[in-house]
Structure 1
Amino acid sequence: MEKLQIFLVILAGLGVFIWRMVQKAIETTARESQERPRPKVPSLPDTSFKELLKQMQAQNQPDAAPRPQPTPPPTTPAGRPLPREVAPQPHSLERTEVRPVSLEEKATARANQETAPRARRAATLPRATTSIPSAYNVPTKAKSSQTRRTVRDTLRSASDVRAAFVLSEVLRRKF
């Protein structure tokens, strides 16, 4: 019984909703027809076919002098005459008599070819792979202060620092 009552309430609500939508559509249609009146269709001419045929034949005669047809003034789609305004002559605000000036810097007096730094031979460059210092082979039972001193001494030379850096990059990869 409760299900039947719920069903009837839903059905009544749906009926009211549809009825309101139909009423709204009718009102919208009536309002649009009042806002936009239908264009007037020209009625059929009162003359007969024979009279129209005579008029066309008279217009097609070569003897008849062509009469210029008066052109009706142009009108808007609503039938009102177009305004007879004349647009002002356009003029340019550009000043053409001013000569353009370059904003580039003036060339300085310098050689046409750049001088490259003097190349160094590879034999004079410090090497990354040198013999391993004996400080790395210290037994594990050595005192920590001695180890610090030897590490500090080995890191003073550039080639040892370079070797340590390369080893750290190889052993601890980021990617």
Structure 2
Amino acid sequence: MRRPNSTLVVVAGDRAEEIVKGLDALPNVRAVRSRDHPPEALRDLLARASSTYLVHDADPLADVAAAWADFFDQAAPHGRLEVAVEDTIAALRTGRALLPDYYIVVEPETMPPTRRHWWLGVLAGTAPARVVPAPARVDAVRDALATLSTGRWWPDPPDQWLRGLGKIVPDHAGPIP
């Protein structure tokens, strides 16, 4: 899949779907809830996006995030993280998935510790300007969109970074605010 002309933003967190829905009325923002589109239609929509921002809740790293958190919480069978990583790498290579330009993470302070370390440690440590915490309100996410800054992109190709996740310990992962 080619990079779209829009800035892709994933809203992540417990209230992501509700917040994405509330952003659709903003000028220059196309808000898309993943539950409203089959995966193939969502991929097509992302590829053809032409608004300034395309905001959605379909995190391409969701399976890796869950597997990483479960790995360190000892809640997953051996190998689950590795399978999630390899599936995600394949999806990124073939265009079935596309990393967003930014993640806006709503209410990370209310997340379980390991999940919070994923967002504000692992991902923020990998590309600091690309992960933005925000309160779980439409106006707060709108304000975050207006102040997104440039910064280091995700490692490309992501293979080495993703395959090394099992060695990134939650309490030592990146810059937790």
TM-score when normalising by structure 1: 0.17
Larger Rg: 1
Q: TM-score, normalised by structure 2?
A: 0.17
Higher strand share: 2
